[in-house]
Amino acid sequence: MKKTLYTTVIKITFVLALILPVAVMAQTEYYGRPSYWRPYDKRGINVFETSKTADSLPFQGPRLRIGAGFTQQFQNLKVQSTATNNQGVNKLYPVAPGFMTSMANLFTDIQLADGIRLNVTTYLSTRHHNEAWVKGGYIQFDKLPFKAPFWTKLMEVTTIKVGHMEVNYGDAHFRRSDAGQTLYNPFMESYIMDAYATEIGGEVMVQKNGLFGMLAMTNGMIKGSVDEGTKGLVNGDVVDNNNKRNPSVILKGGIDKQVTDNIRVRLSGSFYHNSSSAGSGLTLYGGDRGGSNYQNVIEKWKDASGVVQASTAIAFSGRLNPGFTKRIDALMLNGFLKVGGLELFGTYETAKGRTKTETNLRKANQLAGDMIYRFGPAENLFAGIRYNTAKAQLAGIADPVKVNRLALAGGWFMTKNVLLKGEYVVQNYKDFPVADYRNGGKFNGYVIEAVIGF
């Protein structure tokens, strides 16, 4: 009895320690809005890098903001394939209409000093993990504590970020679904080739008169490691003698102009390079730790040992990962045009790389185009169409394979924080070997999401 009472008191004390400071700060106007920050609600749509526009809220001491993203989804998709023995070793995971487990993100933003902000994002529940764990965090400098004129002038156009954070490669990652934070994405899912990762490093971005350029360097891996690198072995023979751990270098540049009150144009190009990861560390196309928003589609029902696969073990359904884990060079070009309520967003991507057990580089390419029309009071309603196609040379498959997706979507922002959206999707798998479970694969149907972001 005493132990139970003691545990209860500890839990209540912990909760109060979290809530009371927030409640006190909420009584002042300085709670809830960091400077140089992307809102997690409707205001954050079509925001890419944070701008250098001066913040009108003066700094009068540290302030804290707690936010969250919640997503509840209902899926009704059908799957099929023409793979040989598709009722045996290649039987697809059977799916039926139903609700997915809710996903949730927790956002903590702290204004530490004038122009200096800290962010920590925690996954409370995701497709890949049901337990809470930290996605990553970073510190962002839009001003420096040095008061010399040189530093003040420099930081008028410069932003510095350091931490374990989302890699700023391309513009598509600003529009993707990230576990419970799906409000920015007018569709259900991210791209077929999902270029997204959290890595340890830093970036420096310069912006002026709509022009911007960025240089970043990271460890190239989803997590830190001090382990000695391993050589590439095939049947005991060394095929890759290089066990060095090289950093990833990311370059980005472009233009983002509000031409008139109703016309905005943005063009950008990004390049990601890593010449050698120690072992199999690179995860640019497999770095999402939240999971797909298409559940269990075109997945094998049983693993190689005949055991039925758990849902979390196949958390990235509907995506195509080229598997460039040892070496990679990737280029992404993006274009964005907004004219009134009409939005066009396009992506061209090409990449090449290999694993540590290969000697030749493989290639992958991707094209995607979105057309969204927002209408109604304050553009609270939208309808859109997306076409996405990817072609890749996969390890162990002689000829390139293709995956394409057509998605039709619509949504309603009931408030700036509450969104209801739905999508009808058709995805096809082409040119996979006849013995591959994805041969002739197809899934189609609809998905509905209720989203909250604040």
Cα dihedral across residues 303, 305, 310, 312: positive or negative: negative
Cα dihedral across residues 242, 246, 248, 251: positive or negative: negative
Question: 40's torsion region: left (phi>0), alpha (psi -120 to 50) or beta?
Answer: alpha
Does residue 241 have a pLDDT over 90? no
> Average pLDDT for residues 53-63, to the nearest whole number?
80
Q: What are phi and psi of 212, to 5 degrees?
A: -145, 150
Comparing 246 with 203, the larger pLDDT belongs to 203
> Average pLDDT for residues 130-137, to the nearest whole number?
88
Per-residue pLDDT band for 31 (boundaries 50, 70, 90) equals: low
Cβ-contact 127, 319 below 8 angstroms: no
Q: What are phi and psi of 151, to 5 degrees?
A: -70, -40
The upper half-sphere exposure of residue 42, i.e. CA atoms within 13 Å in the direction of its Cβ, equals 16
The upper half-sphere exposure of residue 23, i.e. CA atoms within 13 Å in the direction of its Cβ, equals 6
- What is the overall mean pLDDT for the chain? 90
Q: Residues in the chain, how many? A: 454
Q: Which residue(s) pair with 349 in the sheet?
A: 332, 366
Does residue 20 have a pLDDT over 50? no
| Count of C-beta atoms within a 10 Å radius of residue 114 | 15
> Average pLDDT for residues 373-402, to the nearest whole number?
97
Does residue 43 have a pLDDT over 50? yes
Per-residue pLDDT band for 24 (boundaries 50, 70, 90) equals: very low
> Average pLDDT for residues 33-59, to the nearest whole number?
89
Cβ-contact 81, 91 below 8 angstroms: no
Distance of CA 258 to the CA centre of its chain: 26
Per-residue pLDDT band for 242 (boundaries 50, 70, 90) equals: confident
Does residue 13 have a pLDDT over 70? no
The most confident of 1-10, 158-167, 237-246, 280-289, by mean pLDDT: 158-167
- pLDDT of 27: 41
Q: Which CATH architecture has domain 32-453?
A: Beta Barrel (2.40)
Give the DSSP per-residue string, 9-25: HHHHHHHHHHHHHHHHH
Counting residues of the chain whose pLDDT is more than 90, the rounded percentage is 74
- pLDDT of 32: 63
User: Residue 223 in 3-state DSSP?
Assistant: coil
> Average pLDDT for residues 35-51, to the nearest whole number?
95
258-307 pLDDT tens trace: 999 999 999 999 999 999 887 668 899 999 989 999 999 999 988 878 88
Among 29-38, 55-64, 281-290, the minimum mean pLDDT is found in: 29-38
Nearest to 201 by CA among 246, 144, 142, 146: 246
- pLDDT of 238: 77
> Average pLDDT for residues 197-218, to the nearest whole number?
97
Nearest to 220 by CA among 275, 266, 156, 141: 275
Ranges of each domain in the chain: 32-453
- pLDDT of 279: 66
Q: Tokens standing for 334?
A: 């993006």
Per-residue pLDDT band for 312 (boundaries 50, 70, 90) equals: confident
Per-residue pLDDT band for 184 (boundaries 50, 70, 90) equals: very high
Among 85-89, 98-102, 348-352, 360-364, the minimum mean pLDDT is found in: 85-89
Q: How far apart are CA 79 and CA 129, in angstroms?
A: 24
The most confident of 188-202, 238-252, 274-288, by mean pLDDT: 188-202
> Average pLDDT for residues 239-251, to the nearest whole number?
87
Among 75-79, 278-282, 325-329, the minimum mean pLDDT is found in: 278-282
Q: What are phi and psi of 392, to 5 degrees?
A: -150, 150
Among 205-214, 234-243, 328-337, 408-417, the minimum mean pLDDT is found in: 234-243
Q: How far apart are CA 82 and CA 60, in angstroms?
A: 65
Q: Measured between alpha carbons, how far apart are the two ends of the chain, in Å?
A: 40
Cα dihedral across residues 48, 53, 57, 62: positive or negative: positive
Q: How far apart are CA 101 and CA 293, in angstroms?
A: 11
- pLDDT of 280: 67
